[in-house]
């Protein structure tokens, strides 16, 4: 018997790709794509909670995204600050805990304060854990985790490394491994996102640009995931026995 993960225990991660291309295909500024993408993020968060997903991690801004034009980066940061202001009360009302993972030293002081306020206000949420990766690089986090372990002379283990990795990207605790990774926009790569946590993740790619990604698409990804056999390196008969 193969192992299944219930949606309640599920950790879904999403690379929300295609905002800029969505805007360009409509002859609009790229900023309009990011605004549309924020609306999609709200819908997908609501759908994930409705379906009982335990943890949802969204890739909002990578460490390499600083290479984009300054005006676009500034727009993204303003949009994210407005998103926090608008969504914090919604998260509190729906029992969602909000955490931001990634570097914070390169963010503006007002944005850092908004992050702290949002995390504090939603800390008691139990229905779902929403994690948003901002200025995040999995490779950088892995390097910083290794540096922490070396400095502390901590005995090396997967558990110790996961703890150090969480500390390296300002996470509240080591998250469970990613069960399902979704990427929109037609690309099929991880783009430096949750590399350690995605060791045994199931991958699901959608050609839809992120602003066009609908609740039905998300539900379809979960249904496809539920039909897959997850063996984690074991034989089918051994998985059900915990081998």
Which positions are annotated as active-site residues?
17, 65
**Any idea what DSSP says for residue 205?**
E
Q: Give helix 30-51 / helix 215-226 axis angle, nearest 10°.
A: 50
**Any idea what DSSP says for residue 230?**
B
Going from the C-alpha of 175 to that of each of 57, 150, 204, the distances in angstroms are 10, 22, 20
Work out the number of other CB atoms within 10 angstroms of the CB of residue 239: 18
**Any idea what DSSP says for residue 9?**
G
Could you give the strand order of the β-sheet that contains 96-101, starting from the edge strand earlier in sequence? 96-101, 128-136, 55-62, 11-15, 180-183, 202-205
Closest CA to 21 of 208, 214, 203, 182: 208
Does residue 185 sit in helix, strand or coil? Answer: coil
């Amino acid at each position: 018997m193969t192992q299944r993960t219930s949606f309640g225990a599920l950790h879904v991660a999403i690379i929300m790709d295609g905002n800029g291309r969505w805007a360009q295909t409509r002859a609009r500024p790229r900023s309009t794509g990011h605004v549309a993408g924020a609306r999609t993020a709200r819908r997908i968060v609501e759908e994930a909670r409705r379906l009982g997903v335990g943890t949802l991690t969204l890739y909002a801004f990578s460490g390499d995204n600083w290479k984009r034009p300054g005006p676009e980066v500034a727009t993204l940061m303003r949009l994210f600050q407005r998103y926090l202001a608008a969504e914090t009360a919604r998260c509190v009302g729906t029992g969602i805990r909000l955490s931001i993972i990634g570097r914070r030293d390169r963010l503006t002081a007002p944005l850092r304060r908004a992050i702290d306020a949002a995390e504090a206000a939603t800390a008691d949420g139990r229905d779902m854990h929403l994690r948003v990766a901002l200025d995040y690089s999995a490779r950088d986090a892995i390097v910083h985790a290794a540096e922490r372990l070396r400095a502390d002379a901590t005995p090396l283990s997967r558990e110790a490394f996961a703890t150090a990795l969480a500390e390296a990207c300002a996470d509240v605790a080591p998250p469970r491994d990613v069960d399902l990774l979704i990427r929109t926009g037609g690309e099929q790569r991880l783009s430096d996102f949750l590399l350690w946590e995605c060791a045994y993740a199931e991958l699901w790619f959608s050609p839809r640009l992120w602003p066009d990604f609908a609740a039905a698409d998300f539900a379809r990804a979960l249904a496809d995931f539920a039909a897959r056999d997850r063996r984690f390196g074991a034989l089918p008969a051994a998985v059900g026995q915990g081998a």
